[in-house]
């Protein structure tokens, strides 16, 4: 096929090509540089540093408060000794030591005698004050390594570490005497309660329920023994 000759005075249409890039406005002889960010002022830096310090102090205070609450969750709010939850944790830990290292640990289960008349005659305020006094007396008469807990109501427990059977039995009698020797002066009366302590030694094959059951049974046996023996405790109430 023959190509037709172009007409005189008519320019051929050029094929489209890439568009030339446009130079940035301004001085075309200078290379393009991005605009630099301005550095924050000294006052802004100091303000931000102060805010960071304040937030860090609040975080530290919050962490300390959380740690305090986690500790207090195992404490009886009335007597300031361990509650049942805290005691069960310590009992499990003690059993683990006994199984692994052969440590000698004894559990005393203590139930107060003649405590109900205190509440009945003088009200719960007197009963609460008596429980506080007894918890403090138990804490004074054991070592720092031992554990004192209020299990609930008028029941207490003591874990004695590194103690043999005769010494644990002697300590049980001594704590009974210490409780009786802790009179409470309330209004115009001096209130006195006794206690019965049951003893159980932790064994390598024991679980927490086993030890508690043995100590509880020993406590009731002690109550029965005292009920048939001559009364050695004084009157529950001695009027001034």
Contact 193, 120 (CB under 8 A): no
Contact 130, 190 (CB under 8 A): no
Sheet with 105-113: strands ordered across: 147-152, 155-161, 105-113, 194-201
| Residue 199 β-bridge partners | 108
Q: Which amino acids are annotated catalytic?
A: 154
| DSSP 8-class letter at 162 | S
Classified as helix, coil or strand, 43 is helix
- Which value, to the nearest 10 degrees, does the dihedral of the CA atoms of residues 94, 95, 97, 102 take? 120
Closest CA to 193 of 144, 226, 151, 237: 237
Indicate the pairing of strand 155-161 with strand 147-152.
Answer: antiparallel
């Amino acid at each position: 096929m023959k190509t037709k000759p172009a007409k005189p005075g008519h320019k051929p249409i050029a094929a489209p090509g890439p568009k030339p890039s446009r130079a940035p406005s301004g001085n075309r002889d200078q290379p393009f540089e991005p605009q630099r960010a301005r550095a924050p002022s000294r006052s802004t830096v100091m303000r931000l540093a102060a805010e960071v310090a304040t937030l860090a102090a609040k975080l530290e205070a919050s962490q300390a408060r959380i740690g305090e609450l986690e500790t207090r969750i195992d404490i009886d709010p009335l007597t300031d000794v361990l509650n049942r939850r805290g005691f069960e944790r310590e009992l499990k830990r003690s059993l683990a030591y006994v199984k692994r290292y052969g440590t000698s640990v004894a559990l005393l289960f203590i139930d107060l005698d003649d405590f109900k008349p205190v509440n009945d005659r003088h009200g719960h305020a007197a009963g609460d004050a008596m429980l506080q006094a007894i918890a403090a007396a138990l804490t004074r008469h054991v070592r720092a390594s031992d554990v004192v807990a209020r299990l609930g109501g008028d029941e207490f427990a003591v874990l004695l570490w590194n103690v043999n059977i005769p010494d644990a039995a002697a300590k049980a009698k001594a704590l009974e005497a210490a409780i009786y020797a802790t009179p409470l002066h309330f209004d115009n009366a001096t209130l006195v309660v006794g206690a019965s302590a049951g003893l159980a030694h932790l064994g390598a094959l024991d679980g927490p329920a086993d030890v508690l059951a043995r100590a509880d049974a020993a406590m009731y046996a002690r109550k029965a023994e005292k009920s048939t023996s001559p009364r050695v405790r004084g009157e529950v109430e001695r009027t001034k």
